[in-house]
Homo-oligomer: A and B are copies of this chain.
């Protein structure tokens, strides 16, 4: 698939963090013309620009005005600032945020949209972008088509999705990724206390994930909370009584597991 005339005047990336980095690397790999990297932080802008062999600027007014697409990949709360300061007459503007509505662009730009890659990125870790689902939205049919063509060059899983649905997707991702990871972190803290290596939990973590993905997580649930095994639950709560936060999480998550089971059985 060729981009053809789509975005032939190139793309500007605004941001140089995790998402900006991995997206830029994937676009570069697909021979897409990235004109400039913009970031307030010179070090980050320079580092990313050198990785993909392009220019960078730390001055928003110096961004080329004639690119076809401006991708804003910055922290959610900074997006609105960038949108206001970026003085673009032509060209489309998109952001990459899960929880930010496309309507943020309204009344400021004529052609705009969203390109949301659903993944947990770390700057230092390579990712295979082809496996990352990308969700597209645009205020205009031509841009939607163009974004689909672009996204399909870097990912095998591209869908059009409204801002409202994308917000739910992002909320679900926070539970599935950020919160499940925090459960691992708490496990790691607890097991450290007993001078046991976190390594012994790794086969268990792998198997938990495998089961949740192969079937569905509701059917894969096990443990004292599901059995409402108060003997174990009370013992665990006692063990956590020097850490009020973990004790609360233990109580609420255990309650929630048992309630979801009862709801399912109805």
Contact = CB atoms under 8 A, between A and B. Distances in A.
A255 interface: yes
Interface string A189-211: 11101111010111111111101
A215 to B, nearest CB: 9
Interface string A24-49: 00000000000000000000000000
B165 A194 contact: yes
Interface of A: 18, 75-77, 99, 118-122, 125, 127, 131-133, 157, 159, 161, 164-165, 167-191, 193-196, 198, 200-209, 211-213, 216-218, 220-227, 229, 231-232, 235-236, 239-240, 245-246, 248-250, 252-253, 255-257, 259-260
B256 A226 contact: no
A258 to B, nearest CB: 10
Given A122-B222, A127-B207, A245-B252, A187 B196 contact: no
A266 B209 CA distance: 32
B133 A253 contact: no
A239 B167 CA distance: 9
A9 to B, nearest CB: 32
Contacts of A216: 188, 198
A15 to B, nearest CB: 14
B252 A256 contact: no
A186 to B, nearest CB: 5
A201 B181 contact: no
23 contacts: A99-B224, A99-B232, A120-B208, A122-B211, A122-B222, A159-B200, A165-B195, A168-B194, A172-B188, A172-B191, A173-B204, A174-B250, A175-B184, A177-B207, A177-B208, A180-B184, A181-B212, A182-B257, A185-B257, A188-B216, A205-B209, A249-B249, A249-B256
